[in-house]
Amino acid sequence: MTEDELDRFLVVYIGQRSRLASRHLMATLDELVELGRRHGATETAVRTSIEVLCVRGTVVCEGPYVFTPPDTAQSSGP
């Protein structure tokens, strides 16, 4: 999985989880690391990708949770 593929994969997954709106159902960093591992990414690659996505403002990192900003959670997806 390339870096760009990993970024896209994480953004889509985080967006889907963010639409659930309940904080306890949002994706956690540990969950995303495990998910990335199952798809062939290393823990370092997943953590770096999440960090970059947070800096860009694509996702929000708050405590153990990672989610899309409220204004994009409703509009992301097909």
Ordered by where they begin, the domains of the chain are: 3-67 (1.10.10)
Residue 17 contacts residue 27 (beta carbons within 8 Å): yes
Q: How confident is the model at residue 72 (pLDDT cuts 50, 70, 90)?
A: low
The alpha carbon dihedral of 59, 65, 70, 72 has a sign of positive
pLDDT: which is higher, 21 or 69: 69
> Does 75 have pLDDT greater than 50?
no
Q: Global pTM?
A: 0.77
> Does 31 have pLDDT greater than 50?
yes
Predicted pLDDT at 21: 63
